Every structure is written in C-alpha cells, then in structure tokens.
C-alpha cells in the first residue's frame, strides 16, 4: 500500500540562500552569481546553540575573511563552509525534511509505521482518539459488518476494530451487473475480466473502505476511517501474546488504523475459513495495541457481526454460510476473556437469543439503518452507503427489513447470542 507522507519543510532565514550557496576557499568567502559576498562574523561551529537560527541579515556587511576555528580541521579549508546547518536536535524534529539554513535539505528521518510525521513529530493516527475501549468485531466477508451494526453505531466509547477474516474473493458477484449506477457515485464493480480471486478481493476491499467512510458520515463517531493502509505480516512481528498455533492461509493482513476505529483485512480464503484461523487472527489482532498498531486502550467486547442461524422452523432466515458458521463456533466455544460482551449475531427467535431465553440475549435496532440502507425513488437508486458500495453484490439492491423475521440479509432489528 502507498504510504502517507507528510513532510513539512520549514523555510527559515538562512546564511545562504538556495540559489547561491556561499563557499569558502582558502579562507576567502566567495559567492556564486546572484548573491552578495558574505561571510560569517562568528565562525565557531559551537556558537550556534539549539533553537538558534542564523540569518544573512547581520552578515551582509562583514568583510572578515579570516578563519577562527583552526583547531577544528573539518571546519576550514577547501570545500567547507562557515554556514552552520541546523540539526534535527536543534529543531527537536524526529522526522521530516527541513531547510538546514545553509541551502541543503535536512532529513530528520521517517516515523515507524503507522505513525505519521506532522511538524517534525511522529504520532500514530489514533494518538488523540476520543474512544476509551476496544470493541473487536469479527467479520467473515466485507459487508457482514452491517448485520451487526446495532452494536457498532453511535458509540462514543468504543474504538471499533473491524477484523475481516476474508476478502470476499470467492463471490460470484464480482462480475459487473447492468444495474451499476455511476451517476450516483457508485463504487465497484470495475471493468475487469478477472472476476475471481485477487481482483475480486480488491473490489471488495475498495467497497468496504468506501462503505465505512460513508457510514462514518452518518454515524459521526466512527471516522475518520480507512484513510491510510499498511500491509502487515505477522511472521515479521515480534513475539507478543502467544497466538493460537495452527496453519493459516496467509499470515498477511492489511490494516487501516484510524483515529477512532480501525479496519483489518486478513486473507484466510473466502469459503474455507477455519475455526483455528479465526482464533489465530483474533489473537494476532489483540497483540497490535502493544505493537503500536492500535491504541493501547482496555479491551471491552468481541462480537461476531455476521448473521448466522441454523434453526429451522422459526421465523428467521436460515443462513449457514460456512465462514459465518466457523466464526460463530469460534466465539461460541472459546471464551476469549474480554471483560465485556462476547456475542454473535443471530435472529430473535433463535432459542439462544430469544429475549428471556438466556441472560445474554439482546435485540437491538440499528439507529442508522434507514440512512445506511436508503433507496431512492422507485426503489432503484441506491442512496445509502450500504446500497451504493455493496449494492453491486446484489442484482439490484439490498432489500430492507424492519424485523429479522423478514428473511433478508440486513435488517433493522438485530439479535445476538452471548457467551458472556
Ligand atoms: Zn458473509
């Protein structure tokens, strides 16, 4: 992924301007065309203290051509200059590029990813997050986050970490549909001849990033989100909390750490996700705060957002996508020990979620549903970000539903089972 570069060059008054740098030859100060003859009145290299800048203004009239620092062999003689370039220490700069006041660029280095350089200082994008705790959300495929949205939206306390286990690369819907509506700014599909595999994965990641950005505009607590991405290889990361030890399809993940939420895309293979891969990815994600890739906030909750229900004969959609099932089984069978809820999205008539059925049952309603799923006049124009950016996964649009007894994928009422 492209890195974000923020390099500020401070133009300070210098002892030589960039168009004609003074040079000293055999004790005689000369200047290239276009500049006045100048030399320094104070030639001691130690005379420039931290934070002090030199200026041409007070040296214009100097005719001192002698050298005064003969004790320092590097300070005089051919090829050297009287100009004392600024140092990064003097600028208290940890990063970035600056004018060294002697006509050269002072490079104070790069920040360790994912820190960004602003005004010479390195800071993680979440350094000034307004959230207080981490809410991990396990997502099978890009779009499944919507079906757990009631536990995500309008949260002033939670720093949401969306852990996408796969990139949705096996979908049969990566082929462009005729209903694509570029006039309303719709994102993918692109015109590609390769609808499967990596090309499809990139389309789905692009859709997800656009969706999150659109949802953040509605939500108000989520963004800015998905702006800068990095590729992480967990084989390269130093050992931290022991992970679940099992073979995984890929140790690589793409991460977009934002101010108030982060998005991670693992690449475990759409359609053949395993329970151990899920546990491994959750475990690796939980190492990231200590490694500087996520804010060091206390953990709170762990939620399987993707819908899953295998109970037949109730007023609920039966949906048993193997990847959704794997994630639900992983969270059902393993207590990851988060102090807050460890829940999975099901339907309200699932015996494990029915209100009163267990102490953990919850039925929530997405406040932002109407806006996120909004359709335009005639039910064709896709307006809400879920429709605009994920609508291409359907022939026309995502159907709307108030209650999860409406047997559709993304409805307004969302129920959860809970381990705790
Ligand atoms: Zn899914």
Between the CA of 221 and the centroid of ligand 1 the distance, in Å, is 25
Q: Would you give the DSSP letter of residue 371?
A: H
State what percent of residues in the chain have pLDDT above 90: 52
Question: 150 in helix, strand or coil?
Answer: helix
Q: Is the pLDDT of residue 385 over 70?
A: yes
Neighbours of 242 (CB within 10 A): 8
pLDDT value at residue 182: 61
Q: Which region among 43-47, 242-246, 309-313, 329-333 has the lowest average model confidence (pLDDT)? A: 43-47
Cβ distance 189 to 392 under 8 Å?
A: yes
Higher pLDDT, 352 or 23: 352
Between the CA of 151 and the centroid of ligand 1 the distance, in Å, is 17
pLDDT value at residue 76: 45
Between the CA of 143 and the centroid of ligand 1 the distance, in Å, is 7
Higher pLDDT, 214 or 419: 214
Q: Is the pLDDT of residue 81 over 70?
A: no
pLDDT for 259-287, tens place per residue? 999 999 999 999 999 999 999 999 999 99
pLDDT value at residue 407: 80
**Does the pTM exceed 0.75?**
yes
Question: 144 in helix, strand or coil?
Answer: helix
Given phi > 0 = left and psi -120 to 50 = alpha, else beta, which region is 158? Answer: beta
pLDDT value at residue 106: 96
Cβ distance 381 to 373 under 8 Å?
A: no
Q: Is the pLDDT of residue 359 over 70?
A: no
Between the CA of 306 and the centroid of ligand 1 the distance, in Å, is 6
The band of 384, judged by pLDDT with boundaries at 50, 70 and 90, is very high
Between the CA of 189 and the centroid of ligand 1 the distance, in Å, is 18
- The average pLDDT across 296-317 equals 92
**Tokens at 127, concatenated:** 């350094």
Residue 254's contacts (CB-CB under 8 Å, 6 or more residues apart) are 1, 205, 229, 230, 231, 232, 264, 265
pLDDT value at residue 78: 47
The band of 19, judged by pLDDT with boundaries at 50, 70 and 90, is very low
The secondary structure of 56-85, three-state, reads CCCCCCCCCCCCCCCCCCCCCCCCCCCCCC
pLDDT value at residue 95: 97
State what percent of residues in the chain have pLDDT above 70: 70
Query: Pairing state of beta strands 133-139 and 299-304?
Result: parallel
Cβ distance 12 to 87 under 8 Å?
A: no
Between the CA of 207 and the centroid of ligand 1 the distance, in Å, is 14
Higher pLDDT, 382 or 63: 382
pLDDT for 102-158, tens place per residue? 999 999 999 999 999 999 999 999 999 999 999 999 999 999 999 999 999 999 999
pLDDT for 32-60, tens place per residue? 333 333 333 333 333 333 333 333 333 33
Q: Is the pLDDT of residue 24 over 70?
A: no
Between the CA of 31 and the centroid of ligand 1 the distance, in Å, is 69
Cβ distance 205 to 254 under 8 Å?
A: yes
Mean of the per-residue pLDDT values of the chain: 78
Between the CA of 389 and the centroid of ligand 1 the distance, in Å, is 15
Higher pLDDT, 396 or 254: 254
pLDDT value at residue 206: 87
Between the CA of 270 and the centroid of ligand 1 the distance, in Å, is 9
Taking the CA atoms of 343, 344, 349 and 350 in sequence, report the sign of the dihedral they define.
Answer: negative
Q: Is the pLDDT of residue 313 over 90?
A: no
> In angstroms, rounded to a whole number, what is the distance separating the alpha carbons of residues 394 and 373?
13
Is the domain 133-418 a CATH 3.40.50 member? Answer: yes
> In angstroms, rounded to a whole number, what is the distance separating the alpha carbons of residues 140 and 63?
75
Cβ distance 171 to 387 under 8 Å?
A: no
Between the CA of 166 and the centroid of ligand 1 the distance, in Å, is 9
Residues carrying CATH 3.40.50, the chain = 133-418
Query: Pairing state of beta strands 261-266 and 158-164?
Result: parallel
Angle at 250 between CA 208 and CA 323, to 5 degrees: 60
Query: Pairing state of beta strands 23-25 and 28-30?
Result: antiparallel
Between the CA of 156 and the centroid of ligand 1 the distance, in Å, is 27
Q: Would you give the DSSP letter of residue 182?
A: G
Residue 378's contacts (CB-CB under 8 Å, 6 or more residues apart) are none
- The average pLDDT across 198-212 equals 87
Crossing angle of helices 322-333 and 275-287, rounded to 10°:
60
Residues in the chain: 420
């Amino acid at each position: 992924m492209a890195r974000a570069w923020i390099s500020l060059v401070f133009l300070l008054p210098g002892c030589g301007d960039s168009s004609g740098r003074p040079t000293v030859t055999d004790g005689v100060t000369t200047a290239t065309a276009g500049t006045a003859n100048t030399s320094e009145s104070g030639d001691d290299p130690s005379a420039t203290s931290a934070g002090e800048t030199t200026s041409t203004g007070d040296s214009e009239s100097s005719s001192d051509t002698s050298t005064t620092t003969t004790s320092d062999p590097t300070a005089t003689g051919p090829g050297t200059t009287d100009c004392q370039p600024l140092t990064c220490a003097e600028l208290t700069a940890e990063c970035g590029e600056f004018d060294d006041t002697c006509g050269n660029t002072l490079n104070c280095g790069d920040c360790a990813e994912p820190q960004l350089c602003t005004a010479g200082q390195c800071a993680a994008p979440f350094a000034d997050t307004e959230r207080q705790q981490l809410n991990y959300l396990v997502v099978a495929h890009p779009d499944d986050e919507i079906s757990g949205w009631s536990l995500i939206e309008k949260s002033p306390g939670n720093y949401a970490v969306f852990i996408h286990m796969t990139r949705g690369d096996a979908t049969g819907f990566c082929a462009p549909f005729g209903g694509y509506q570029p006039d309303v700014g719709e994102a993918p599909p692109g015109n590609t001849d390769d609808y499967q595999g990596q090309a499809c994965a990139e389309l789905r990641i692009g859709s997800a990033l656009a969706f999150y950005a659109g949802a953040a505009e509605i939500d108000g607590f989520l963004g800015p989100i998905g702006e800068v991405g990095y590729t992480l290889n967990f084989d390269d990361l130093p050992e931290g909390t022991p992970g679940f030890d099992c073979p995984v399809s890929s140790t690589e993940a793409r991460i977009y750490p934002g101010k108030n939420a982060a998005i991670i895309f693992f690449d475990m293979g759409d359609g053949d996700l395993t329970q151990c891969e899920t546990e491994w990815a959750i475990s690796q994600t939980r190492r990231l705060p200590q490694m500087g890739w996520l804010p060091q906030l206390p953990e709170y909750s762990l939620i399987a957002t993707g819908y899953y229900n295998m109970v037949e004969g109730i007023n609920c959609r039966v949906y048993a996508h193997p990847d959704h099932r794997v994630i639900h089984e992983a969270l059902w069978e393993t207590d990851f020990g988060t102090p807050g809820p460890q829940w999975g999205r099901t339907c309200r008539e699932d015996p494990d979620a029915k209100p009163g059925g267990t102490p953990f049952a919850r039925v929530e309603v997405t406040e932002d549903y109407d806006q996120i799923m909004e359709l335009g006049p005639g039910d064709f124009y896709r307006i809400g970000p879920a429709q605009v950016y994920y609508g291409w996964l359907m022939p026309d649009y995502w159907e709307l539903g108030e209650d999860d007894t409406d047997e559709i994928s993304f409805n307004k009422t969302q129920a959860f089972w809970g381990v705790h």
